[in-house]
């Protein structure tokens, strides 16, 4: 009796183990409430109880204070699953058309009419931004790299349409190229203060005409398709040039929500149309554009605090250890563009900024 008492007195009581998931043993429960994971604080006890991870006794005493921050692997998995789900839904619609549940010919005809219209809308969407830049004589907020990449994609699209004699692709890319020339002219007017127009016109004319001739008459179709894919990756990756500062400050004002939404719809329609006509050259750029556009939507939602998972792990991937600002904190601009405008005025063309070269 004495030995048992001494043993019990000399032995420290074991602290209860932190509950773990029966499905992911190495993954601890989510971050505290208010970070977008308060649903886990409510449902985690019942999940553990149902999965046998500690029993009802431990689950009943589990509170939000016991929950720990999940590993970034969970956020990575949720991000990838969301993007794969978006791409998979388009392939599923194509599968329904192939097995006869949806009328393949009617769907193909509808998309052949809808795709050019949506693309035309996406080409016109940046017009208000360009007009505002011209009126203010400040082109700092214009996505010049996007206009340049889109013009290159339109040149390649025109060359491909000439090779395969596709009128829908030809007319769409010709309209898009005209829009990009106007946007680049507005950017030149705002940055160069209406100077060097002769050099600008000569440079644009030579680059576009030589590009169309070489790729339409000399380049093989396989090489042309690879070039289209590369320039589309550049095109849809251009808005992420400031991804580090966007994630760190949670400032989604760098992205235009309307343009991004149109881009998602445009690339989704072209992806489905390319699957129906079985054209790999049209399919690859559309899939890449759709994936990057969906990711841009996720970044916008995360900046606004409406995404149920975290994208802060991207800062670690970019080598930034400072972490992202919390929603509603003083470090987050909150979508107000006044600070951005004030910063841009310091680097306005009238203050002596350099003119960005084209191509």
Do the domain assignments include residue 330? Answer: yes
Question: Which residue among 66, 98, 125 closes a domain?
Answer: 66
Question: Same domain for 218 and 317?
Answer: yes
Question: Same domain for 268 and 132?
Answer: yes
Inter-residue long-range contacts of 216-221, CB under 8 Å, 24+ positions, other chains counted: 216/158, 216/159, 216/162, 216/163, 219/159, 221/160, 221/163, 221/164, 221/281
Do the domain assignments include residue 9? Answer: no
3-34 pLDDT tens trace: 455 444 555 555 444 444 444 444 444 443 44
Do the domain assignments include residue 82? Answer: yes
Give residue 244's Cα distance to chain centre.
Answer: 14
Question: Same domain for 41 and 87?
Answer: no
| Helix, strand or coil, per DSSP, at residue 339 | helix
Query: Which letter, b or e, does each residue of 196-224 get, where b requires 16 or more Cβ atoms within 10 Å of its Cβ?
Result: eeeebeeebeebbeebbeebbeebeeeeb
* Cα 171 to Cα 284: distance, rounded to the nearest angstrom: 20
Question: Same domain for 161 and 38?
Answer: no
Enclosing domain of residue 48 = 17-66
Question: Which residue among 25, 43, 66 closes a domain?
Answer: 66
| pLDDT (average), residues 32-39 | 44
Question: Same domain for 39 and 145?
Answer: no
Question: Same domain for 37 and 108?
Answer: no
Question: Which residue among 66, 83, 103 closes a domain?
Answer: 66
Do the domain assignments include residue 2? Answer: no
In this predicted structure, the answer to whether residue 341 has a pLDDT above a threshold of 90 is no
Do the domain assignments include residue 173? Answer: yes
Do the domain assignments include residue 6? Answer: no
Question: Same domain for 60 and 81?
Answer: no
Question: Same domain for 84 and 51?
Answer: no
In this predicted structure, the answer to whether residue 37 has a pLDDT above a threshold of 70 is no
As for how many domains the chain has, the answer is 2
Mean pLDDT of the chain, nearest integer? 74
Reading the block at residue 297, the tokens are 């939507």
Question: Same domain for 49 and 144?
Answer: no
Q: Enter the pTM of the model.
A: 0.64
Question: Same domain for 59 and 188?
Answer: no
171-214 pLDDT tens trace: 889 999 999 999 999 888 888 776 788 888 999 999 999 999 99
Question: Same domain for 33 and 160?
Answer: no
- Integer angstrom CA distances of residue 276 from 161, 166, 228: 18, 15, 20
Do the domain assignments include residue 194? Answer: yes
Question: Same domain for 280 and 343?
Answer: yes
Do the domain assignments include residue 7? Answer: no
297-315 pLDDT tens trace: 999 888 888 888 888 888 7
């Amino acid at each position: 009796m004495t030995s048992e008492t001494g043993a019990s007195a000399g032995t420290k009581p074991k602290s209860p183990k932190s509950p773990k998931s029966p499905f992911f043993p190495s993954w601890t429960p989510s971050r505290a409430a208010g970070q977008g994971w308060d649903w886990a604080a409510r449902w985690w006890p019942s999940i553990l109880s149902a999965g046998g991870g500690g029993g009802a006794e431990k689950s009943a005493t589990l509170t939000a204070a016991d929950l720990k921050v999940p590993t970034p692997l969970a956020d990575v998995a949720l991000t990838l699953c969301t993007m794969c789900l978006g791409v998979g839904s388009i392939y599923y619609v194509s599968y329904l058309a192939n097995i006869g549940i949806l009328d393949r010919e009617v769907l193909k005809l509808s998309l052949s009419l809808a795709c050019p219209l949506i693309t035309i809308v996406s080409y016109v969407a940046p017009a208000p931004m360009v007009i505002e830049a011209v009126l203010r004589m400040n082109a700092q907020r214009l996505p010049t790299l996007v206009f340049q990449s889109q013009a290159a994609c339109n040149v390649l699209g025109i060359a491909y349409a000439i090779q395969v004699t596709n009128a829908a692709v030809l007319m769409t890319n010709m309209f898009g190229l005209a829009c990009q020339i106007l946007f680049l002219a507005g950017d030149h007017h705002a940055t160069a203060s209406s100077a060097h127009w002769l050099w600008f016109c000569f440079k644009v004319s030579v680059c576009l005409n030589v590009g169309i001739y070489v790729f339409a008459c000399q380049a093989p179709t396989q090489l042309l398709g690879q070039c289209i894919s590369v320039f589309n990756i550049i095109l849809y990756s251009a808005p992420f040039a400031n991804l580090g500062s966007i994630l760190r400050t949670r400032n989604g004002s760098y992205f235009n929500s309307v343009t991004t939404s149109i881009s998602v719809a445009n690339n989704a329609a072209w992806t489905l149309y390319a699957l129906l006509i079985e054209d790999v050259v049209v399919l690859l750029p559309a899939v890449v554009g759709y994936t990057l556009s969906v990711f841009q939507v996720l970044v916008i939602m995360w900046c606004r605090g409406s995404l149920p998972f975290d994208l802060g792990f991207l800062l670690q991937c970019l080598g930034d250890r400072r972490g992202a600002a919390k929603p509603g904190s003083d470090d987050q601009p909150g979508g107000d563009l006044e600070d951005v405008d004030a910063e841009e005025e310091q680097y306005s063309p009238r203050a002596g900024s350099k003119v960005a070269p084209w191509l």
